[in-house]
Amino acid sequence: MAYLYNRLQKLKKVRWHLGATLPQDIKANLTEPELQWFNNYSKILASYMMTIGDGHGLNLTNDIKPPKSLFIEVRCLTDYGKFELESGEIVLLKKNSQHYLPKLQCESLIRQGILQHIV
């Protein structure tokens, strides 16, 4: 029982440090129930994070320190095209264009190298 508890605690840490997508080497070493637990935990955590931050959500896994703002200024590095925000607003992301967007909604594009956070 303690062995399983420790494995789930380690999975919880992985979720907070690496995000909702497991690296293949970790995924290969998990049982099906562990994968289901991880996916359920990720959904619950994501659902909770969307309820905070004045309706814009707040990624607690990235924001260990409270953010100064829920919006950030970004520059588009490639011609991406239309990007729909959760509010329904559509933003055209063209190379070298600058935008002021909700941080939570553009973090994945920053990680993909499509947007750059302007500090």
The full DSSP string for 88-111 is: S-EEEE-TT-EEEEEHHHHHHHHH
Q: Tell me, what's the pLDDT at 65? A: 63
110: in domain: yes
Identify the domain containing residue 103 by its residue range: 71-117
CA 106/CA 65 separation, integer angstroms: 19
Do 40 and 77 fall within a single domain?
no
60: in domain: no
- Cβ-contact 53, 104 below 8 angstroms: yes
Q: Is the pLDDT of residue 59 over 90?
A: no
Q: Stretch 28-48: mean pLDDT, rounded?
A: 92
Dihedral of alpha carbons 65, 70, 75, 78, sign: positive
Do 6 and 47 fall within a single domain?
yes
What share of the chain has pLDDT > 70, as a percent? 91
Q: Is the pLDDT of residue 60 over 60?
A: yes
Q: Tell me, what's the pLDDT at 19? A: 81
How many distinct structural domains can be found in the chain?
2
Residue 65 is classified by DSSP as S
Nearest C-alpha neighbor of 59 from the set 108, 98, 119, 10: 108
Do 45 and 77 fall within a single domain?
no
35: in domain: yes
Do 113 and 76 fall within a single domain?
yes
63: in domain: no
Q: Stretch 33-49: mean pLDDT, rounded?
A: 91
- Residue at token pair 């829920």: 70
Between 77 and 54, residue with greater pLDDT: 77
